[in-house]
Amino acid sequence: MSMLFRLKSSLGRGVMFRITEDEVESGFDETALYQGFPFTGEVVEETRGGVLVALTTYVDGVPDGVTKEWYPDGAKRSEGYNSRGRAIGTHVEWHKNGTLAREARFSDTGGYLGQRRWDDDGTLTLDDF
């Protein structure tokens, strides 16, 4: 798939690049590169059938912004936010049946604060908050 352009009119920041996971190169320090340069924009992963299953926002080659995953049927799989390559805030994962699977919290600097886990029936199996 070739590069797509998308207007970010809601943020007023002009054009944002969106590329597929296959177009990303990895630098020596795991920096995401596109055409040899640190990438800023959205990297998406799609199934062979074209269904969007992952989206990660990058700034200067590191995850910075929203990251989301979906199951091939379109149901949410995970959602979180990164800042300068570190998970921050609350990250959430769901089981295939839609029940909450995990909730993890991170500080504004990426420090791990705790998590809760549930089985696919919704029973809490771990709580270390």
In the sheet that 37-38 helps form, which strands lie side by side, from edge to edge? 25-26, 32-34, 37-38
**Any idea which of 1-15, 53-67, 75-89 has the lowest mean pLDDT?**
1-15
pLDDT per residue over 11-51, tens digit each?
Answer: 345 557 999 999 999 988 889 999 999 999 999 999 999 99
What is the predicted pLDDT for the residue at 27? 84
Instruction: Please give the DSSP secondary-structure letter assigned to residue 22.
Output: G
C-alpha to C-alpha distance for 69 and 82, rounded to whole angstroms: 14
pLDDT, residue 4, reads 40
User: What does pTM read for this prediction?
Assistant: 0.83
pLDDT of residue 15: 59
Mean pLDDT of 54-74: 97
Cα separation, 124 vs 31, in Å, equals 36
CATH number, domain 18-128, options 1.10.3470, 1.10.357, 1.10.260, 2.20.110: 2.20.110
78-121, pLDDT tens digit by residue?
999 999 999 999 999 999 999 999 999 999 999 999 999 999 99
Residue 1 has pLDDT above 50, yes or no: no
Give the C-alpha separation, 31 to 91, whole Å. 22
